[in-house]
Structure 1
Amino acid sequence: MSFEALDSPKLRSFHRRLTILSAAGMFLDGFDLTVIAVALPFLVKKWAIGPGLTGVVASSAVVGMFFGALVLGHLTDRIGRKAMYVVDLICFVVFAALTAVSQNVWEFIAFRFLLGVGIGADYPISSTLLAEFVPAARRGAFVTAVGSSWFLGAVCAYLAGYLLLPLGPDAWRWMLVLGAAIALVVICFRAAIPESPRWLAAQGRHDEAGKLLLALSGETGTTTAEPSQPWLSLFKSPLLRLTIFVAGFWFCYDVAFYGISIYTPTILKNFTAGSASAAYLGAAIVSALGLLGAVIGVFLVDGWGRRKLIIFSFAGLTLMLIALAVEPKPALVILVLLFGLATLFSNMGPGVLNFVYPTEIFPTGVRAGATGFGTAISRVGAILAILVFPRLVHDWGLQAALWLFVVAAAVGLVICIAMAPETKRRTLEELNRRGGDNASVMAGNAKQRASL
């Protein structure tokens, strides 16, 4: 099907509205996942949580994300983008509210897990729906803008924690209620978003796709059948190499990012003479630098290109983590600066391109499922960092434990140098054809490496 009608100037306001609504969901993802870093010290004291259970509390939502992304991402390819676009936020409202009123640690873990299912679903749903509507020339900027809103949510979680500290031991409950209230508002606006015409065409519903294009832009296009592909085709040639690339770099990014972000206030508190407010303020600065990195990525992705951006960012992340690992007794200012720069580099490249690459290089029939699979594998990296890092700090000390993140970042760099394709300014239909033939997507790697 010809989708040039989606590039029509008449759709600019629609593209902006869709971007804002998708970004709102990602903002809530960042807020709800990061708020546990703010709440954790309160919860440990309130329920006398031991070191072993602390990791379970911190990772419960991330574990839920694994299942939500894997199952609901695939379901989004089966039943459509629109329905799941609303359902996942209903999960936000219900389970964020239930987590806020938890009466013991086990209720908290259970509700955070279910909240994570909804969060995990939003990754493939929001990015896929947006990518299938926006013009090729600006697709990178639109989709990375959605990714960057995650980090805005993270910054707001830290600031909310800082501002709500005067409410005492139950301040964390109000943070979670705030997330649920925002989600409730977003649901009302998301309900008006139409189904993706590309998904309709992939299901053979060409008449519906044509009518939708006509209603949106006043233009129609000719329809052609797109070959149907089952989810398992992600693990067979020619798509297997693309699956390995996306899952590999995303896994490495999450090992480094979540290990830093979840425990930033806890780590900084050891350098602030026990001051919780100073630790949260330092964590907010780190998170703000991460947001700045994501914004830089938004501006570079369509001009500089995906491949150069992700390689440069992984290289910068690796260098910053090495600097952290070799500094024996860093001052608080140096620690915040290095953590902040590491987060800036990580978010400038892989932190936003993890939303772009899977929506571009995989065909429509498996696009959300592929994004969901990449998200799920990345959660394994996040869980590894969250559960293993505290034990390594306890056994080896902070500096030695940071080498786990150095190794992860270095492996991510190698994966991107070897496998990252360049996809800027190509239509999804062109990339679908190249993805189906595989060799065409990866053929430019040697030339791209030579140009770096």
Structure 2
Amino acid sequence: MTSNIPQRLDRLPWGRFHTLVVAALGITWILDGLEVTLAGSVAGALKESPALRLSNTEVGLANSAYLAGAVIGALFFGWLADRLGRRLLFFVTLILYAAATAATAFSWDIWSFALFRFATGAGIGGEYAAINSTIQELIPARVRGWTDLVINGSFWMGAGLGAAGSILLLDPSILPEDWGWRSCFLIGAILALPIMAMRAWIPESPRWLLTHGRAAQADAVTADIEGRFSAAGHRLGEPAAPGLQLRQRPHASFAEIAAVLLHRHRRRTLVGLSLMTAQAFFYNAIFFTYALVLTDFYDVPAGQVGWYILPFALGNVLGPILLGRLFDTVGRRPMISITFILSGILLTVSGLLFQQGLLDSRTQTIAWMVIFFFASAAASSAYLTVSETFPIEMRALAIAIFYAVGTGLGGVVAPFLFGALIDTGLREAVLVGYLIGAALMIAAGVIQAVFGVAAERKALEDVARPLCAMD
């Protein structure tokens, strides 16, 4: 069969439909930011909680459980998203997230807390796979890079919300000591409810329908999307001639997926793994233990940690917004390399200043704001890279694989490692962790500079030919 659906989707002007897609699906990163920030902000409260009384190492263990859940959830739900469709899975994963984070509020010991954090992570990991693939397939090529970076950067809007919420809810004059941190985790479950209604308006990806032999349904969905623009007064003109020839075929097998990753696109695999592993270690090592550094080395009260996270979150939000356009104009390869390498250099400098005792709580926060202005764009570009450089039939699973391996190698280990390093009370030990993170970022930036793909302003089918495409 032949189709012009990709060209029809890419020619659309930005409209209310795209805004709805970004709002309803991009909320995933806000929820993840909320979860990660709450976990960091309430670390001190978890140590003081009469019910839990966690050590620094146990706080790190619980955070690692969250990330391990995200790894397994991404793989399982990513596999299902490629087989059953994007739309079904972004409802299933959201329900799992809401139920698990609500259960976290009622934890009674370290093991129940870690279990519920694991389940929460599984929901978020599944969201990553289903949502990233859907957004890539619905957003026009000319703004795909900037949109993806801004959506991923919205993680820090959730971080700011979590920080502000923790300031209020951890105040013992407002809530009893053991109920402040519990209320923090209920925020995410409450926010998930209206998102269900918003997602009811998002259709299945026409590109997914097309490559799964459902051409008539794909055409109907695309026509409905075009009708929304026509009703809003946009003149779309005649659609482009069919430019994509496809053959109907069953789902991609694991052997075929392995062949794509290890042979056909092995350089892209190297780039994706390098970027995802580096940013996962970099972010999770520092942010999951942010509160511990402030409380243990700068004597910041646990209830005041949120005030320090707010400016940090602001720098992370502004990075993708202000730098994102350059990824569509200057190009993917130079911008991804620059942001990764610069982030590593800046972390090295700030780590040495920390080790020498030349920073206080405010200057440490300023240093992290500057570092993560660039690192936020870098981390977001890692997700952009793995979601647009592999064929559509395996896109969600590819995202899941790179997220899982990157997070497994760089993310699950990092919070536990840094928690143990902070427990030593030695600045020199913490510096070692910072230098590891910096080295990973610089190495990933160099690999991107050599092997990266110039995917800016190109249709997804031109960046990575579908497996069912006919030459």
For the criterion TM > 0.5, the same-fold answer is yes
Deviation at 1:434, TM superposition (A): 9.4
Counterpart check, 1:213 vs 2:245: no
Alignment partner, residue 195 of structure 1 = 204
Alignment partner, residue 280 of structure 1 = 306
Equivalent of 1:337 in 366, 370, 383: 366
Counterpart check, 1:204 vs 2:213: yes
Instruction: Return the letter of the residue paired with 2:279.
Output: Y
What is the alpha-carbon distance in structure 1 between the residues aligned to residue 358 and residue 452 of structure 2? 35
Query: 1:78-157 residue pairs with structure 2 within 5 A?
Result: 78-157=83-162
On the 8 A contact 1:361/1:435 being kept in 2, the answer is no
State the Cα deviation string for residues 198-251 of structure 1 (Å, max 9, x = none). Answer: 001111111211122122215877463157643333433112321221122110
Counterpart check, 1:311 vs 2:337: yes
What is the alpha-carbon distance in structure 1 between the residues aligned to residue 41 and residue 462 of structure 2? 44
Out of 417-426 and 329-338, give the one that drifted further: 329-338
Instruction: Return the letter of the residue paired with 1:6.
Output: L
Out of 283-292 and 124-133, give the one that drifted further: 283-292
Alignment partner, residue 255 of structure 1 = 281
What is the alpha-carbon distance in structure 2 between the residues aligned to residue 91 and residue 354 of structure 1? 25
Equivalent of 2:450 in 418, 436, 444: 418
Deviation at 1:392, TM superposition (A): 3.0
On the 8 A contact 1:239/1:435 being kept in 2, the answer is no
What is the alpha-carbon distance in structure 2 between the residues aligned to residue 9 and residue 136 of structure 1? 10
Out of 312-321 and 329-338, give the one that drifted further: 329-338
Unaligned runs of 5+ in 2: 228-237
Change (3 A) 1:335 1:232: same
Change (3 A) 1:34 1:234: farther
On the 8 A contact 1:362/1:435 being kept in 2, the answer is no
Counterpart check, 1:366 vs 2:394: yes
On the 8 A contact 1:96/1:111 being kept in 2, the answer is yes
Instruction: Return the letter of the residue paired with 1:431.
Output: V
Instruction: Return the letter of the residue paired with 1:201.
Output: L
Select the structure with the greater relative contact order (CA < 8 A; seq sep ≥ 6). Answer: 2
Change (3 A) 1:9 1:132: closer
Instruction: Return the letter of the residue paired with 1:383.
Output: V
Instruction: Return the letter of the residue paired with 1:374.
Output: F
Instruction: Return the letter of the residue paired with 1:189.
Output: M
Deviation at 1:295, TM superposition (A): 1.9
On the 8 A contact 1:323/1:338 being kept in 2, the answer is no
Alignment partner, residue 385 of structure 2 = 357
Change (3 A) 1:204 1:9: closer
Counterpart check, 1:4 vs 2:7: yes
State the Cα deviation string for residues 175-208 of structure 1 (Å, max 9, x = none). Answer: 2111111111101111231111100111111121
Out of 83-92 and 303-312, give the one that drifted further: 303-312
What is the alpha-carbon distance in structure 1 between the residues aligned to residue 123 and residue 252 of structure 2? 26
For the residue of structure 2 that corresponds to 1:301, the secondary structure is helix
Change (3 A) 1:274 1:431: closer
What is the alpha-carbon distance in structure 2 between the residues aligned to residue 202 and residue 361 of structure 1? 16
For the residue of structure 2 that corresponds to 1:194, the secondary structure is coil
Deviation at 1:414, TM superposition (A): 2.3
Would you say how many aligned residue pairs link Structure 1 and Structure 2?
A: 436
Deviation at 1:68, TM superposition (A): 0.7
What is the alpha-carbon distance in structure 1 between the residues aligned to residue 37 and residue 371 of structure 2? 17
For the residue of structure 1 that corresponds to 2:15, the secondary structure is helix
State the Cα deviation string for residues 285-308 of structure 1 (Å, max 9, x = none). Answer: 222212221222333221222112
Instruction: Return the letter of the residue paired with 1:55.
Output: G
Out of 399-408 and 309-318, give the one that drifted further: 399-408
**Bigger helix fraction:** 1
Alignment partner, residue 465 of structure 2 = 433
Change (3 A) 1:355 1:6: same
On the 8 A contact 2:211/2:468 being kept in 1, the answer is no
Q: TM-score, normalised by structure 1?
A: 0.91
Out of 170-179 and 114-123, give the one that drifted further: 170-179
For the residue of structure 1 that corresponds to 2:203, the secondary structure is coil
Instruction: Return the letter of the residue paired with 2:197.
Output: C
Instruction: Return the letter of the residue paired with 2:25.
Output: S
Change (3 A) 1:190 1:391: same
On the 8 A contact 2:289/2:418 being kept in 1, the answer is no
Change (3 A) 1:429 1:275: same
Equivalent of 1:77 in 76, 82, 96: 82
Query: 1:24-35 residue pairs with structure 2 within 5 A?
Result: 24-35=27-38
Q: CA RMSD in A?
A: 2.2
What is the alpha-carbon distance in structure 1 between the residues aligned to residue 272 and residue 324 of structure 2? 19
What is the alpha-carbon distance in structure 2 between the residues aligned to residue 278 and residue 100 of structure 1? 21
On the 8 A contact 1:26/1:122 being kept in 2, the answer is no
Instruction: Return the letter of the residue paired with 1:193.
Output: I
Query: 1:292-307 residue pairs with structure 2 within 5 A?
Result: 292-307=318-333
Change (3 A) 1:432 1:291: same
Instruction: Return the letter of the residue paired with 2:463.
Output: L
Q: TM-score, normalised by structure 2?
A: 0.87
Alignment partner, residue 230 of structure 2 = none
On the 8 A contact 2:12/2:140 being kept in 1, the answer is no
Instruction: Return the letter of the residue paired with 1:75.
Output: L
Instruction: Return the letter of the residue paired with 1:373.
Output: I
Deviation at 1:331, TM superposition (A): 2.3
Equivalent of 1:160 in 165, 168, 171: 165
For the residue of structure 2 that corresponds to 1:302, the secondary structure is helix
Deviation at 1:435, TM superposition (A): 9.5
Instruction: Return the letter of the residue paired with 2:436.
Output: L
On the 8 A contact 2:41/2:305 being kept in 1, the answer is no
Alignment partner, residue 419 of structure 2 = 390
Deviation at 1:96, TM superposition (A): 1.0
Unaligned runs of 5+ in 1: 438-452
Alignment partner, residue 377 of structure 1 = 405
What is the alpha-carbon distance in structure 2 between the residues aligned to residue 116 and residue 37 of structure 1? 15
